Amino acid sequence: MNSPSDLLPGTLDLLILRTLEHGPLHGVGIADRIEQTTKGVFVIGPGSLFPALHRLAARGWLDGQWGELETGRRARFYTLTRGGRARLTEEKRNWKRVFTAMNQVLAEET
Protein backbone atom coordinates (compact mmCIF):
# COMPACT_ATOMS: atom_id res chain seq x y z
CA MET A 1 0.00 0.00 0.00
CA ASN A 2 1.65 3.12 -1.16
CA SER A 3 -1.04 5.66 -1.67
CA PRO A 4 -2.61 7.26 1.38
CA SER A 5 -5.86 7.56 -0.50
CA ASP A 6 -6.31 3.82 -0.22
CA LEU A 7 -6.22 4.09 3.51
CA LEU A 8 -9.36 5.05 5.25
CA PRO A 9 -9.06 8.75 6.02
CA GLY A 10 -7.46 9.26 9.41
CA THR A 11 -5.91 5.81 9.53
CA LEU A 12 -2.43 7.14 8.90
CA ASP A 13 -2.74 9.51 11.84
CA LEU A 14 -3.70 6.65 14.12
CA LEU A 15 -0.77 4.56 12.86
CA ILE A 16 1.71 7.36 13.54
CA LEU A 17 0.34 8.25 16.96
CA ARG A 18 0.27 4.62 18.00
CA THR A 19 3.84 4.04 16.77
CA LEU A 20 5.12 6.98 18.81
CA GLU A 21 3.38 5.73 21.94
CA HIS A 22 6.50 3.68 22.76
CA GLY A 23 8.89 6.61 22.52
CA PRO A 24 10.41 9.21 20.19
CA LEU A 25 11.32 8.18 16.64
CA HIS A 26 12.53 9.92 13.51
CA GLY A 27 10.74 9.70 10.14
CA VAL A 28 12.54 6.63 8.83
CA GLY A 29 12.08 4.92 12.20
CA ILE A 30 8.34 5.55 12.13
CA ALA A 31 7.98 4.25 8.56
CA ASP A 32 10.10 1.17 9.30
CA ARG A 33 8.28 0.41 12.53
CA ILE A 34 4.89 0.58 10.80
CA GLU A 35 6.13 -1.62 8.00
CA GLN A 36 7.52 -4.17 10.46
CA THR A 37 4.51 -4.38 12.79
CA THR A 38 2.05 -4.66 9.89
CA LYS A 39 4.30 -7.22 8.24
CA GLY A 40 4.65 -5.12 5.15
CA VAL A 41 0.97 -4.32 4.62
CA PHE A 42 1.49 -0.58 5.16
CA VAL A 43 4.53 0.91 3.47
CA ILE A 44 4.56 4.64 4.14
CA GLY A 45 6.57 6.81 1.73
CA PRO A 46 7.94 10.22 2.64
CA GLY A 47 5.30 11.84 0.40
CA SER A 48 2.58 10.72 2.82
CA LEU A 49 4.56 10.64 6.03
CA PHE A 50 5.98 14.15 6.19
CA PRO A 51 2.73 15.97 5.44
CA ALA A 52 1.03 13.86 8.09
CA LEU A 53 3.81 14.49 10.63
CA HIS A 54 3.68 18.22 10.04
CA ARG A 55 -0.07 18.27 10.21
CA LEU A 56 -0.05 16.42 13.53
CA ALA A 57 2.70 18.67 14.82
CA ALA A 58 0.73 21.75 13.75
CA ARG A 59 -2.23 20.50 15.79
CA GLY A 60 0.03 20.11 18.79
CA TRP A 61 -0.18 16.34 18.98
CA LEU A 62 3.47 15.79 18.13
CA ASP A 63 6.60 17.65 19.03
CA GLY A 64 9.58 17.50 16.63
CA GLN A 65 13.14 18.01 17.97
CA TRP A 66 16.43 17.70 16.20
CA GLY A 67 18.74 15.05 17.64
CA GLU A 68 21.69 12.87 16.71
CA LEU A 69 21.77 9.24 15.64
CA GLU A 70 24.43 6.88 16.93
CA THR A 71 26.12 7.29 13.54
CA GLY A 72 26.43 11.01 14.20
CA ARG A 73 23.83 11.90 11.60
CA ARG A 74 21.23 14.53 12.49
CA ALA A 75 17.56 13.60 12.33
CA ARG A 76 14.31 15.02 13.61
CA PHE A 77 12.74 12.99 16.37
CA TYR A 78 9.02 13.11 17.02
CA THR A 79 7.52 12.74 20.48
CA LEU A 80 3.88 12.29 21.43
CA THR A 81 2.64 15.31 23.42
CA ARG A 82 0.07 15.17 26.19
CA GLY A 83 -2.57 16.28 23.67
CA GLY A 84 -1.32 13.62 21.29
CA ARG A 85 -1.88 10.93 23.89
CA ALA A 86 -5.43 12.07 24.48
CA ARG A 87 -6.00 12.10 20.76
CA LEU A 88 -4.59 8.61 20.45
CA THR A 89 -6.98 7.29 23.11
CA GLU A 90 -9.86 8.84 21.28
CA GLU A 91 -8.75 7.52 17.90
CA LYS A 92 -8.32 4.06 19.34
CA ARG A 93 -11.82 4.12 20.68
CA ASN A 94 -13.17 5.29 17.33
CA TRP A 95 -11.29 2.66 15.48
CA LYS A 96 -12.55 -0.09 17.75
CA ARG A 97 -16.10 1.06 17.19
CA VAL A 98 -15.67 1.02 13.41
CA PHE A 99 -13.84 -2.28 13.60
CA THR A 100 -16.56 -3.93 15.68
CA ALA A 101 -19.23 -2.54 13.43
CA MET A 102 -17.50 -3.76 10.30
CA ASN A 103 -17.01 -7.20 11.82
CA GLN A 104 -20.64 -7.44 12.70
CA VAL A 105 -21.59 -6.58 9.14
CA LEU A 106 -19.17 -9.14 7.79
CA ALA A 107 -20.29 -11.80 10.24
CA GLU A 108 -23.89 -11.31 9.19
CA GLU A 109 -22.96 -11.82 5.57
CA THR A 110 -21.47 -15.30 6.03
Partner 1 sequence: MFWRRNRDRDRDLDEEVQSWFDIRVSQHRSCGMSPEGARREARRGFYGPEQVKQQVREERRGAGLESILRDIRYASRALRKSPGFTAVAVLTLGLGMGANTAIFSLINAVMLRILPVSHPEQLVLLTDPGSSGVDVETTESDVRDLLAYAEFTELRDRTQVFSGLFAAESDPRPIDVYSADQHQLHRARLQLVSGEFFSVLGIGPAGGQFFTAAQDRVPGANPVAVISWNFWQRDFAGDPAAVGRTLRIGQGTFQIIGIAPENFRGIQVGADSDVWVPITMQAQAIPGRDYLTPHDTLWLQVMGRLKPGISIEAAQSSITVTMRQMLEAWRLPAKFLNQRLVLHPGAKGASDLRDRFADPLLILMGMVGLVLLIACANIANLMLARVNARHREIEVRMALGAARFRLIRQIMTESVLIACLGGMLGTAFAWLGTRALVAFASASITGLSLDMHSDLRVFLFTAAASLLTGILFGFTPALRETRGDRAQSLAGSQRGASTARLRGRRVLVVAQIALSVVLVTGAALLARSLRNVLSESTGFDHSHLLLIGVDPVSTGYKGAALRFFFQNVLDGLNRLPGAAGATLANTGLFGGGDSGDEVSLDGSPVHDKNDLHARWTLVGPHYFSTLGVPITRGRELDDSDAARATQFCVVNEAFARTYYPNLDPIGHHITDEYPTTRETYEIIGVAANAKEHSPREREVPRFYPTMFHPIGTVYATTFLLRTNGDPAAAASAARALLRSLAPTVNINDIRTADEQLSRRLVTQRLIANLSGLFGLLGLFMAAIGLYGVMSYAINRRTAEIGVRMALGASRPAVMGMILRETLWLVLGGILIGVPCALAAGRLLKGMLFGIQANDPVTLTVTAAVITIACCIAAGVPARRASQIDPMNALRCD
Q: Min. distance of Cβ 93 from partner 1 in angstroms?
A: 20
Q: Please tell me the count of residues contacting partner 1 according to CB under 8 A.
A: 23
Strand locations in the chain, DSSP E? 25-26, 62-68, 74-80
Please name the amino acid found at residue 67.
G
CB-based burial label for 81 (10 Å; 0-12, 13-18, 19+): middle
Stretch that binds partner 1, among 20-28, 33-41, 79-87, 90-98 (CB under 8 A): 20-28
- Applying CB under 8 A, does 79 fall inside the site for partner 1? no
Q: What is the largest CA-CA distance in the chain?
A: 55
* d(C-alpha 46, C-alpha 48), whole Å: 5
Give the residue, chosen from 74, 106, 107, 109, that forms a contact with partner 1 under the rule CB under 8 A: 74
Binding status of residue 5 toward partner 1 by CB under 8 A: yes
Residues of this chain that interact with partner 1 (CB under 8 A) are 2, 4-5, 9, 26-28, 43, 45-47, 50-52, 54-55, 58, 69, 71, 73-76
